Amino acid sequence: MTVEGLTVHYGGVCAVRDVSFSVPAGEAIGVIGANGAGKTSTLKAVMGLVPRQVAGLRFGEVDLSRVPARAMVRHGIGYVPEGRHVFTGLPVEKNLLLGAYARRWNTDTRATLAEMYELFPVLGEMRHRLAGALSGGQQQMLAIGRALMSRPKLLLLDEPSMGLSPKLVEDILAVLLRLRTEGMSLLLVEQNAKLTFEATSSCLVVENGEVAMTGTSDRLRHDPQVRRIYLGL
Ligand code: ATP
């Protein structure tokens, strides 16, 4: 995916200003930055969930700049929103199946469901329980599983580690690394810089809605300024 000149205004507030980046096929790219830096707005703007201006938005050969949010899934883009937003009144399995709504129910859907239970065994164990009965970490797994049910080529994740214990953050990291080995492209928005550096190959650092720094995750991880501000070292 390539994003050129992305800008978001909320009334008079400019939350994202002229941001450009690309997610090469099969790569994982991170977006880190402080609270309010514009990370969520960047992701929502890519998805078309907030009004935006964009000079270019392409995925492979496809121009996505006029594609509405609900149709992004058909172009191979999956989205895991901040705060999970699982359907708490529906069973786990129904939540997963809703993620496949853009595809017809067929044996392929059944196979994808089986893959989800292999990737997230706890979801298999709790498939008939209401999603609202799951812990925060389990709900995050469910939100990721639901997005994966559409078999995306690129998965956008908004702060999947939010509110999770260090152990569960490790579990999320393991899932992201496995998706990478399977060739999926990832765009990961996070306040947790440590997780992001481990999960991605390159990152953007956003400050006040602008790209303040870019580099490989290995280089940024050792950058003194990044270490001080984002790793507290
Ligand atoms: P967080 O980690 O808290 O999610 P963030 O880096 O994702 O932060 P955004 O949520 O994108 O940042 O917010 C960027 C700026 O836009 C902030 O100043 C925020 O207050 C403002 N903002 C976000 N959403 C709205 C909205 N719906 N209306 C007005 N201002 C908004």
- Among 10, 16, 162, 208, the mutation site with the greatest number of ligand 1 atoms within 8 A of its Cβ is 10
HEC assignment per residue over 6-71? EEEEECCEEEEEEEEEECCCCCEEEEECCCCCCHHHHHHHHHCCCCCECCEEEECCEECCCCCHHH
Share of the chain above pLDDT 90, in %: 90
Ligand 1 closest atom vs CA 43: 11
pLDDT tens digits along 188-213:
999 999 999 999 999 999 999 999 99
- Out of 3.20.20.220, 3.90.700.10, 2.30.140.10, 3.40.50.300, the CATH code matching 1-76+153-164+185-233 is 3.40.50.300
Instruction: Give CB contacts under 8 A, 24+ apart, made by 216-222.
Output: 217/30, 221/197
- If you average pLDDT over residues 218-225, what whole number do you get? 95
pLDDT at 107 over 80: no
And the tokens for 167?
Answer: 């152990």
Q: To the nearest whole number, what is the mean pLDDT of the chain?
A: 94
What pLDDT score was predicted for residue 103? 63
pLDDT confidence bin for 45, thresholds 50/70/90:
very high
What pLDDT score was predicted for residue 108? 86
Ligand 1, residues at Cβ distance < 6 Å = 10, 13, 15, 33, 35-41, 191
Return d(Cα 223, Cα 175) in angstroms, integer.
27
Q: Is 227 exposed, middle or buried (0-12, 13-18, 19+ CB in 10 A)?
A: middle
Return d(Cα 156, Cα 78) in angstroms, integer.
6
What pLDDT score was predicted for residue 105? 60
For the chain, where are the E strands, in sequence order? 2-10, 13-22, 28-32, 56-59, 62-63, 77-80, 154-158, 185-190, 202-207, 210-216
Share of the chain above pLDDT 70, in %: 97
And the tokens for 110?
Answer: 């059944």
- If you average pLDDT over residues 57-77, what whole number do you get? 95
Nearest CA owner, ligand 1 atom 19: 36
pLDDT at 102 over 80: no
Ligand 1 closest atom vs CA 191: 2
Give Cα separations from 6 to 29, 50, 209 (angstroms).
Answer: 17, 12, 10
Domain boundaries, the chain: 1-76+153-164+185-233
ipTM over 0.90: yes
What pLDDT score was predicted for residue 81? 94
- If you average pLDDT over residues 39-66, what whole number do you get? 97
pLDDT confidence bin for 170, thresholds 50/70/90:
very high
